[in-house]
């Protein structure tokens, strides 16, 4: 790898990690994590419901604490870091984006399914009007051929995105597939290229390094692997690896280790590891946030959660179709 290439990291544990703890973050937890990450010089800290602004619902999971309180609390304690929020058009609304900006958010990550970038122009445009650094987030990137991914990324760039991400929402991509996608975006776009991994096939670090090698300069990580499914690229490990490669992140490694051990670990309901269910997410190519929903459906209908996830994968079910999890479980139960 080229030693001169610097990387900017967005810490996603306070958003993606919301899935892992059933959206039960408290203000005190968010304040402690955000303050620590800021002191460790993490440049971007994402805070919102796991499914983005407006995600707190029966379908996606109810938050313990209103996410606007969490965003405001995080913004109030950071001195250098920028608070980021995620918005999925159709779940989050433009008034919610305006409110988040008024409470201190400095970055908006506008997320769509990999083939549906055309639902995002209003939200990307509004984010730019609000003075927010704006990211286009192409989720479930394994579900489209590279040419389609490039087409959709160019749409987001045309709407005004400062960065466009290849998002491996299912943790299903293999390193050579990441390289192909990131290189194609790097060649086709003039804006920054980013990469967001999940560790369901134990490839988050390998995939992230592959993305950086091909020119991605915006990278997501989750401290202590606190993210949906088996988590994301583990941030404190990533900054250590990049330091060994001579790639600068500006993040204090020791402080990240301490935050992971002393602040984040106690928040975890159980250690983040690759379980049979999270492994199947990556194997079947299913959205990582489906994990807890599938486990609940498994208990309710007496069906192996892996069978539910495999069937969801066969049907190409994507984020926003959580209601299909119960439908599939009921269908499988009726065929037993």
Q: Are 197 and 235 in contact (CB under 8 A)?
A: no
Closest C-alpha among 127, 133, 31 to residue 82: 133
- 307 annotated to a ligand binding site: no
Q: Are 166 and 182 in contact (CB under 8 A)?
A: yes
Does residue 4 sit in helix, strand or coil?
coil
Closest C-alpha among 74, 31, 34, 68 to residue 53: 68
Active site residue 123: no
- 240 annotated to a ligand binding site: no
Interatomic CA distance for residues 268 and 158, integer angstroms = 40
Which letter does DSSP use for residue 142 in this model?
G
Q: Are 19 and 58 in contact (CB under 8 A)?
A: no
Which letter does DSSP use for residue 218 in this model?
E
Interatomic CA distance for residues 39 and 30, integer angstroms = 14
Interatomic CA distance for residues 303 and 330, integer angstroms = 9
Q: Are 244 and 231 in contact (CB under 8 A)?
A: no
Closest C-alpha among 170, 62, 45, 26 to residue 109: 45
- 305 annotated to a ligand binding site: no
- 120 annotated to a ligand binding site: no
Q: What are phi and psi of 327, to 5 degrees?
A: -60, -45
Angle between helices 291-301 and 276-284 (to 10 degrees): 110
Which is the catalytic residue, given 19, 113, 123, 142? 19
- 198 annotated to a ligand binding site: yes
Interatomic CA distance for residues 238 and 244, integer angstroms = 10
Interatomic CA distance for residues 44 and 31, integer angstroms = 15
Q: Are 143 and 318 in contact (CB under 8 A)?
A: yes
- 16 annotated to a ligand binding site: yes
Q: Binding site for substrate: which residues?
A: 15-16, 169, 196, 287
Catalytic residues: 19
Q: Binding site for Mn(2+): which residues?
A: 16, 196, 198
Q: Binding site: which residues?
A: 15-16, 169, 196, 198, 287
């Amino acid at each position: 790898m080229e030693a001169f290439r610097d990387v900017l990291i967005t810490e996603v544990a306070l958003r993606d990690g919301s899935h892992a703890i059933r959206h039960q973050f408290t203000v005190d937890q968010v304040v402690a994590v955000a303050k620590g990450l800021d002191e460790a010089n993490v440049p971007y800290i994402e805070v919102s419901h796991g499914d983005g602004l407006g995600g707190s619902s029966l379908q996606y999971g109810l938050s313990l604490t209103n996410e606007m309180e969490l965003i405001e609390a995080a913004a109030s304690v950071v001195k250098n870091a920028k608070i980021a929020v995620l918005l999925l058009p159709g779940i989050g609304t433009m008034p919610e984006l305006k409110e988040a900006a008024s409470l201190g958010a400095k970055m908006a990550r506008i997320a769509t399914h990999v083939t549906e970038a055309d639902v995002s122009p209003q939200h990307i445009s509004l984010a730019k009007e609000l003075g927010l650094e704006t990211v286009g987030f192409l989720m479930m990137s394994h579900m489209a051929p590279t040419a389609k991914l490039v087409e959709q990324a160019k749409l987001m760039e045309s709407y005004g995105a400062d960065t466009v991400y290849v998002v491996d929402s299912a943790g299903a991509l293999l390193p050579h597939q990441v390289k192909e996608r990131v290189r194609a975006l790097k060649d086709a776009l003039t804006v920054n290229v980013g990469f967001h991994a999940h560790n369901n096939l134990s490839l988050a670090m390998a995939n992230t390094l592959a993305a950086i090698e091909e020119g991605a300069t915006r990278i997501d990580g989750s401290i202590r692997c606190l993210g949906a499914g088996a988590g994301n690229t583990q941030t404190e490990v990533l900054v250590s690896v990049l330091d060994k490669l001579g790639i600068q992140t500006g993040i204090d490694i020791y402080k990240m280790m301490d935050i992971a051990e002393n602040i984040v670990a106690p928040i975890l309901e159980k250690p983040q590891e690759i379980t049979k269910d999270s492994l199947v997410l990556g194997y079947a190519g299913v959205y990582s946030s489906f994990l807890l929903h599938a486990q609940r459906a498994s208990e309710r209908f007496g069906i192996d959660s892996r069978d539910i996830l495999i069937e969801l994968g066969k049907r190409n079910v994507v984020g926003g179709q959580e209601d299909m999890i119960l439908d599939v479980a009921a269908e499988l139960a009726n065929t037993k």
